[in-house]
């Protein structure tokens, strides 16, 4: 995702800072990576504090973008808080309530969302509105949720969790622990019909509802191949956040629905 966002930023004409944060293991293995013809230096935990302060002087409108791992999500947020650096975080996992509380307490500008794909976010917002407007509309129905992502994604999709929350508001008795995660290659190819060239980057979600007597069924589905939809949404979020910072907006913490409502789409 980091590479995809960097490439999208270059396409959008943004000034890509020539550094990328990573773990010590990655630093030991490589000295740089190339993105859209630009060399990016890998920066490990031992040197990133000093570097961030230097970069802030050189790039006064700096916005950090975070796509790391669920188990370091709070460490990364604390890093941005420590350096008072506005950031966009698309990383899923962690304690989301704590994450939001920490950022609010720091009075730091940020866009935090488990889903950065603009159209998927619009679908998610539509489901939330449906739950608010028609509470209990699907009471008695049963729900089956299946989500397939690349095998490197270990946690449950944040988008699937959010959609399930909306279905709960619509009257369905279903817990996020019941979401089926498909990470097996053969099941992805055969059962989920994921194209082979998308196995390393995809998001196929299916939400199936069945009435108590089995006579009525509904199915919601969104299938995404590749990472472009998320990368472009992330760049839009970064541009939106930069404008909020420049305008001195009173609200500091945002999600992708805020970005959509502002019409902040390229």
Catalytic residue among 118, 149, 202, 205: 149
153 labelled catalytic: yes
Residue 261 annotated among the catalytic residues of the structure: no
Q: By the 8 A CB rule, do 203 and 1 touch?
A: no
* Rounded alpha-carbon distances, angstroms, from residue 242 to 88, 190, 255: 10, 43, 14
Chain centroid to CA 154: how far? 14
**CA–CA gap between residue 117 and residue 121 (Å, rounded):** 6
Burial class of 235 by CB neighbour count within 10 A (0 to 12, 13 to 18, 19+): buried
Contact criterion met (CB below 8 Å) for 147 and 160:
yes
Q: Which of 153, 161, 202, 205 is catalytic?
A: 153
Residues designated catalytic = 149, 153
């Amino acid at each position: 995702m980091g590479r995809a966002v960097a490439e999208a930023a270059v396409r959008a004409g943004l000034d890509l800072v020539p550094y990328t944060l990573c773990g010590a293991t990655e630093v030991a293995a490589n000295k740089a990576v190339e993105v859209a013809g630009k060399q990016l230096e890998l920066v490990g935990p031992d040197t990133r504090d000093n570097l961030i302060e230097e970069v802030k002087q050189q790039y006064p409108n700096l916005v950090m973008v975070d796509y790391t791992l669920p188990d370091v999500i709070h460490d990364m947020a604390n890093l941005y808080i420590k350096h008072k650096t506005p950031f966009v975080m698309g990383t899923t996992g962690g304690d989301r309530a704590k994450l939001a509380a920490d950022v609010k307490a720091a009075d730091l500008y940020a866009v935090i969302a488990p889903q950065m794909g603009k159209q998927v976010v619009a679908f998610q917002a539509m489901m939330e509105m449906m739950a608010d407007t028609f509470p209990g509309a699907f009471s008695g129905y049963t729900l089956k949720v299946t989500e397939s992502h690349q095998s490197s994604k270990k946690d449950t999709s944040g988008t699937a969790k959010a959609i399930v929350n909306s279905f709960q508001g619509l009257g369905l008795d279903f817990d996020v622990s019941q979401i089926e995660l498909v990470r097996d290659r053969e099941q992805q190819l055969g059962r989920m019909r994921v194209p082979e060239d998308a196995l390393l980057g995809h998001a196929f979600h299916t939400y199936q509802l069945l009435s108590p007597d089995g006579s009525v069924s509904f199915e919601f589905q969104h299938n995404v191949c590749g990472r472009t939809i998320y990368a472009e949404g992330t760049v839009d979020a970064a541009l939106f956040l930069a404008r909020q910072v420049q305008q001195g907006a009173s609200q500091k913490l945002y999600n992708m629905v805020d970005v959509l409502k502002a019409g902040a789409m390229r």
